[in-house]
Amino acid sequence: MEVDKGKGEAEETRKVAEADRDTVTLKSSDGKLFEVSKEAAARLSTVLAGMIAGGSIDDNGTDLKQIGSEALENVVDYCNKHANSIPSAALISSSISFNTAPFKEPEEWERKFVDRLSHDALFDLVEAANFLGMERLLDVTCHKISEMMKGKSPDQIREVFNIKNDYTKEELEEIRQELAWAFYDD
Amino acid sequence: MPLRKSCKMEGAGSGIDTLPDGVLQHILGFLPARDAVRTCVLARRWRDLWMFATGLRIISNCNDEMGELREFVDHLLLTRGIAPLETFELGFDGVSADDFCEGDVLRVNLWFRHAIRCQTASCHVTIPGNCTCILLEGLSEAKNLALIAESETFIFKKDLRHCPTFSKLKTLLLSDYLCVALDLDAITCILKHSPVLERLTLELFRQGSGHKMLMKGSYSPVHTAAAISEHLKIVEVKCEVVDERVYKVLKLLCTFNIRKLINNAIEFFQYL
């Protein structure tokens, strides 16, 4: 039980301690806790940066109800790897200081990072990156998915991603005629 | 706030269908334009997604006829309208310079104007070898520009005689991977025609090798040298080694009063 007297003080101490910590604790939808460097989190995620700046980070684990533990683990893993890797100039110029430059190809480690993921894990990570405002991670994961589509026929794409074709035959024919300029060599 | 619009399909199962439209549009933005358009036949949900793809990458293959490419792009731009674009990429690697006629130059300029009307943040152009066409005109309204030279002669040689004024250009990246295309006149001319430029980056290293050095400088305007933008705050030169060519570029920059090109190769990786 907390004694009223000194509560404010304790609160104050807790806040200071929190500000001094160099990691933040994140809590997935299924209650698992992950620690990530505060600097990396603030740099890579606009949402976490806002929460850190706004003081809405909870020492006992900031609730991220939209993100499952597997995706959050990948997010944290990405942040840590990002913090450890020596970023190439390409990365710096694309996402941090020169955000007007065209998208730069993923780094070797980023490629490996997304290549090892299952389809479902990749989709969950895309959503987490989108939710947390992690532009570079969103780019890298979306780029990976685009590579899985590139050069494939519609049938092949449907198969890879398990997409159900809900068009009627007539509708399909109509679209193909409308967009004949994109299907001219079929 | 999520980065991409989240209008998620209710009750969707798992897999790619669970992603919000905004994310799918971002994915399509990485595909070559033709692949992106063709996703319209996948399923009803995909029908119009390509029109709102965040990037438009028109990349010609070796076996593409210029005529086909023209028709494709004209249709593409008319159909997609002016939905906002983040990236516009135009690559003519596969087109031989002989096929590239005077009319194409005008056309490409129109395409660029269209892209700029879509509030494109970044334009990226790759030009075929031996092609000395005028592309700069269409780019003159751009705010941010990346010009990448991957072939032996660059657009500038001929263009520069008619160099337009880049009246809105704030950031400019010039990459010269083969180290032969950009010459001093080109850099001079562009600098002189960019009155509000704030940031200039020159990449002078071979493709794939990456750069080992980064030199940063700044411009200190004095009344005698009002030839270039007084807003220029950041100048960066990236290279592998300081060879004769890089040295010449540095000397040129000095004549514009761009100084303090400090070589801090060791500790330059500081995030802003």
**What are the tens digits of pLDDT across the range B102-111?**
677 778 778 8
Give pLDDT, residue B234: 82
B/e letters for A94-120, b = 16+ CB within 10 Å, e = fewer, are bbebbebbbbbebbeebeebbeebeee
Listed in order, strand segments (DSSP E) in chain A are: 23-27, 33-37, 62-63
- Residue of chain B with shortest Cα separation from A66: B2
Q: Which residues of B touch A184 (CB under 8 A)?
A: 68, 72
Contact A130 B214 (CB under 8 A): no
Which residue has better confidence, A172 or B10?
Answer: A172
Cβ neighbours of B144 in A, within 8 Å:
100
**Mean pLDDT, rounded, for B118-138:** 60
Q: Select from B74, B223, B42, B177 the least CA-distant residue to A154.
A: B42
Hey, are the CB atoms on B26 and A181 less than 8 Å from each other? Answer: no
Best of A85, A98, A140, A173 to substitute, by most chain B Cβ atoms within 10 angstroms, is A98
Supply the mean pLDDT for chain B.
73
Query: Which chain A positions have a beta carbon within 8 Å of B143's beta carbon?
Result: 100
Using CB atoms, pick whichever of B15, B31, B271 lies closest to residue A162.
Answer: B15
The answer to whether residue A41 is domain-embedded is yes
Q: Per-residue pLDDT for A122 more than 70? A: yes
What is the model's pTM?
A: 0.70
Which residues in chain A are contacts of B271 at CB distance < 8 A?
43, 92, 96-97
Residue of B nearest to A141 (CA): B27
Q: Does residue A46 fall inside a structural domain?
A: yes
Q: Is the pLDDT of residue B147 over 80?
A: no
* Alpha carbons B80 and B34: distance in angstroms, whole number: 13
- Within-domain flag for A157: no
Q: Do B271 and A96 touch (CB under 8 A)?
A: yes
Nearest-by-Cβ selection for B43 from A88, A165, A183: A165
Residue B220 CA to its chain's centroid (Å): 27
Band of the pLDDT at B245, cuts 50, 70, 90? confident
The amino acid sitting at A70 is E
Residues B48-58: b if buried by 16+ CB within 10 A, e if exposed: ebbbbbbbbbb
> What pLDDT is recorded for position A75?
96
The model's confidence at residue B112, banded by pLDDT at 50, 70 and 90, is: confident
Q: For residues B69 and A114, which has the higher predicted lDDT (pLDDT)? A: A114
Q: Identify all chain B residues contacting A102, using CB atoms and an 8 Å cutoff.
A: 87, 89, 122, 124, 146
In a domain, A171, yes or no: no
- Of chain B, the percentage scoring pLDDT greater than 90 comes to 18
Nearest to residue A163, comparing CAs of B15, B53, B8, B35? B15
Dihedral sign for Cα atoms in the order A158, A164, A169, A174: negative
Nearest CA in chain B to A92: B271
Please tell me what DSSP assigns to residue B179.
Answer: S
Measured between beta carbons, the chain A residues lying within 8 angstroms of B201 are: 93, 98
Best mutation target among A96, A103, A150 (most B Cβ atoms within 10 Å) is A103
Domain positions in chain B? 188-264
H or E element that contains B144 = strand B144-149
Interchain pair A150, B35: CB under 8 A: yes
CA–CA distance, B126 with A137 (Å, rounded to integer): 26
Assign residue B182 a region (left: φ > 0; alpha: ψ between -120 and 50; beta: otherwise): beta
Split at pLDDT 50, 70, 90, the class of B148 is: low
Say what the pLDDT of residue B149 is.
Answer: 59
Retrieve residue B107's tokens. 């056309």
Position B152 pLDDT exceeds 60: no
Say yes or no for a CB contact (<8 Å) between B16 and A145.
yes
Q: Please give the C-alpha separations between residue B173 and each of A78, A130, B148, B235, in angstroms, as whole numbers.
A: 28, 28, 8, 10
Residue A100: which of B72, B171, B214 has the nearest Cβ? Answer: B171
Closest Cβ opposite residue A88 in set B38, B144, B210: B210
Which domain covers residue A106, as residue numbers? 7-150
Of B32, B42, B68, the CB nearest to A158: B42
Q: Is the ipTM of this complex over 0.85?
A: no
Q: Which pair of tokens denotes residue B102?
A: 């005077």
CATH number at residue A124: 3.30.710.10
The three-class DSSP label of residue B42 is coil
The span from the CA of A39 to the CA of B205, in Å, is: 32
Instruction: Pick the residue from chain A with its C-alpha nearest to B270.
Output: A92
Among the partner residues B2, B75, B272, nearest to A181 by beta-carbon distance: B75
Chain B environment of A130 (Cβ under 8 Å) = 2-4, 6, 20, 22-23
When CB atoms are compared, the residue of B19, B146, B271 closest to A123 is B19
Count of domains in chain A? Answer: 1
Shortest alpha-carbon distance between residue B224 and chain A (Å): 30
